Amino acid sequence: MSKVFSFHGGIHPPDNKKRSTRAPIGKAPLPKRLVVPMQQHIGGPADPVVKIGDQVLKGQLIAEPISRISASIHAPSSGRVVDIAAYPIPHASGLSEECIVIETDGEERWIEHQGLGDYTRLKRTDLIEHIRGCGVAGMGGAGFPTDVKLHLSEDHIVNTLIINAAECEPYITADDMLMRERAHEVLGGIEIIAHLLRPSHVLIGIEDNKPNAIHALESVLKHTDLNIDIVVVPTKYPSGGERQLIKLLTDIEVPSGRIPADIGIVCQNVGTTSAIYRAVHFGEPLISRIVTVTGDAVLHPRNLETLIGTPFSTLLEACDLRPEALSRLVMGGPMMGVTADNDRIPVIKTTNCLIAATEQEMPAAQPAQACIRCGMCEQACPAELLPQQLYWFAKGREFDKARHHNLFDCIECGACAYVCPSNIPLVQYYRFAKSEIRTEERDQQKADHARQRFEARQARLEREVAEKEARRKARAEEAAKAQQQKAAAKDDSGAQPAAAAQPDAKQLKTAAAVARTKLKKAQDALKNAEEKGLDGIDTLRATVETLEKKADEAQQAFEQTEGKTPAPATESGPHSAEQAEPDTKALKQQVSIMRTKLKKAESALESCEDEAERSGLQAEVDELKQRFEQATAVFEQAEQAVIARAAGAGIDLKQLRIDAAMARAAVTKGERSLTKAESDEERNRIEQDLAAARTKADELNLTLSQYE
């Protein structure tokens, strides 16, 4: 037998366990309505997969996990889903959360299910996935999804598997009764876990106040060839705490902020082992558990195999509650449990005990008095913290300091409050401080996130403004440049008209128009002045004369360029086409340019109203039309020549084009599938195909380019 070590502190409260172990495990009556909460443990809630009105069978999946740390939930009995809404859940806050309500039909019809048979032949991941699918979660306290723990051997070396059968809290006997009556299930579960984690030895830690359970375990252990040791530890609260039990059995302390797997140890509760056994050998999901119903207010305290979702009232009735005697209903043990507001709250996967206490049994807390700094709390603390110090920090809201004194290593066991002579509700202070710190952290995280988003938005806005500014500047610069050019052109046209500088005909046209308008204005002014006999007629007359001259010049310059530019264009058409006969592309382009020009001129003609200008424009349009027709003719000629040439070589140009396009498509397709290919073999094959497709495409392109 292994050596037993010791942990610091601890207390010896009256255990009150015997009363509920006299009767064997009973079966809780089937309630009319089962209320199954979607969140039964730490981690993410499950997501319902059934709708209101659906018929469900016992063991049917009704909600699936949405995150890694989350567990599936199954219908505890057959019936109809009547509601999916928020109902009070077993939580210290007394708040409501989403629950699926099933109206039972009393038939208890099971969904088809079967065990895995020889699980040792399965792949480990498949086995774990099966256990995850059965919604198995830790049945000790926090309800941590079991499959997560079973994966631990992948990135940790697991030497020791510890089965937690200590059940140190007073009143609770669920695990004790389970071991007495179903020791083979516990062993079966241990075998499965050992198969998955491959520890070098397995330790079952059990308190010495459960001799019957120890005996039952010992008798089944004879039939196993696993290296399992039952370690009987002295009764002391809280030896069932994970870290305390590890210290007791191995004398190793789990470092602060780490998990036991970091030192090669994995802990599982006995209840969980039995659930794993049932899941693997019978394919039964976790839909029921053993709950101890006890306390002075019930006449027949005992353990009941209870469906998840059974309201507390059903259990209390089954154990003959004396309603007049009940003063407090506690879910969980007397040390760490929380008071339930009402008896409609349902049993969940982690509900191990229900205490219906009388006034005498659990009197209201005495008013707290001042701390006298006796230091008894420090003597009792199993986590070796300084409870008194933490109390001052929590009270003074110095959460940073509380944190530095390792507040988060506190397991909230209540040993300090139990020994406190001043009746200070120490654990309440720690819970308060912890939740304050957690809220603060959440807020800080949210604030950081908001800051990031705000800054990103700010940067975006600034960038947009800068871009706008840059665009505006570019436009202004362009305008200035155009202005400059205009001025330069003007100067040029003044010095040596159009011919030398070859200015844009358009610009000259505008210049001519401007000159004309100016002249007209001046003429009007002159007329006006003459009629009214105003002063400065002479100056006006002189201005008109100069303007007349300028307008004439501008008109001339414009006409000259107009006359000149079309000439090379008309010439360039047929000539260049003849010279560079195969350049059909350029010809095509020219044709389209001509078409646009023609269209523009035509629309200008339509919108024009002035008679004189109209005739001018008409002439222009006619000329353009002619030129366009010429260019088209030339293009068609060239095209015909190309096709004829291709036909001469025995190739249908159209077909060639289609072939080339198809070859190109084949190449791109090949490239795409190459990036998707997974195995080397496949890749090689695709690469070969691709190379062939490429050569073909290149060849076709080459032939095509010869004709185009």
Q: For another protein, which is the closer residue by CB, 443 or 699?
A: 443
* Shortest spacing between CB 353 and another protein, in angstroms: 20
Q: For another protein, which is the closer residue by CB, 89 or 519?
A: 89
Q: What's the Rg (C-alpha) of the chain?
A: 47
85 binds another protein per the rule CB under 8 A: no
Q: For another protein, which is the closer residue by CB, 442 or 481?
A: 442
641 binds another protein per the rule CB under 8 A: no
92 binds another protein per the rule CB under 8 A: yes
Figure out which of the listed residues 68, 451, 600, 685 binds another protein, where binding follows CB under 8 A: 451
Angle, CA 200 vertex, CA 134 and CA 266 arms, to 5°: 45
Which amino acid belongs to residue 379? Q
Q: For another protein, which is the closer residue by CB, 441 or 687?
A: 441
Q: For another protein, which is the closer residue by CB, 216 or 433?
A: 433
DSSP assignment, residue 703? H
Output the furthest CA–CA distance in the chain (Å, rounded): 138
* Shortest spacing between CB 457 and another protein, in angstroms: 5
For the chain, what's the residue count?
Answer: 708
Q: What gap in Å lies between CA 149 and CA 691, rounded to an integer? A: 51
439 binds another protein per the rule CB under 8 A: yes
435 binds another protein per the rule CB under 8 A: yes
Structure tokens at 23: 């009767």
Cβ atoms of 266 and 149 closer than 8 Å: yes
- Cis peptide, bond prior to residue 31, ω within 30 of zero: no
Q: For another protein, which is the closer residue by CB, 79 or 387?
A: 387
Helix (H) or strand (E) holding 491: helix 426-495
449 binds another protein per the rule CB under 8 A: yes
Laid out side by side, the sheet with 73-74 consists of 46-48, 61-65, 73-74
Figure out which of the listed residues 118, 223, 257, 370 binds another protein, where binding follows CB under 8 A: 370
The dihedrals phi and psi of 356, each to the nearest 5 degrees, come to -95, 100
91 binds another protein per the rule CB under 8 A: yes
Q: For another protein, which is the closer residue by CB, 97 or 548?
A: 97
Q: What gap in Å lies between CA 51 and CA 382, rounded to an integer? A: 47
Q: Exposed/middle/buried for 106, CB within 10 Å: 0-12, 13-18, 19+?
A: exposed
Among positions 93-132, residues that touch another protein (CB under 8 A) are: 93, 95, 97
Binding mask 21-40 for another protein (x = CB under 8 A): ------------------x-
142 binds another protein per the rule CB under 8 A: no
Figure out which of the listed residues 68, 404, 446, 585 binds another protein, where binding follows CB under 8 A: 446
**Which range of residues in 12-20, 232-240, 299-307, 421-429 is near another protein by CB under 8 A?**
421-429
53 binds another protein per the rule CB under 8 A: no
Q: What gap in Å lies between CA 246 and CA 23, rounded to an integer? A: 32
Laid out side by side, the sheet with 160-165 consists of 228-233, 201-207, 160-165, 265-269
Figure out which of the listed residues 12, 442, 473, 506 binds another protein, where binding follows CB under 8 A: 442
432 binds another protein per the rule CB under 8 A: yes
468 binds another protein per the rule CB under 8 A: no
* Shortest spacing between CB 560 and another protein, in angstroms: 53
603 binds another protein per the rule CB under 8 A: no
Size of the site for another protein (CB under 8 A): 33
Question: Backbone dihedral region of 374: left (phi > 0), alpha (psi from -120 to 50 degrees) or beta?
Answer: alpha
Helix (H) or strand (E) holding 179: helix 174-181
* Shortest spacing between CB 426 and another protein, in angstroms: 9
Q: What gap in Å lies between CA 417 and CA 429, rounded to an integer? A: 10
Q: What gap in Å lies between CA 87 and CA 96, rounded to an integer? A: 5
Residues found near another protein in the complex (CB under 8 A): 39, 89, 91-93, 95, 97, 367-370, 425, 428-429, 431-432, 434-436, 439, 442-443, 446-451, 453-454, 456-458
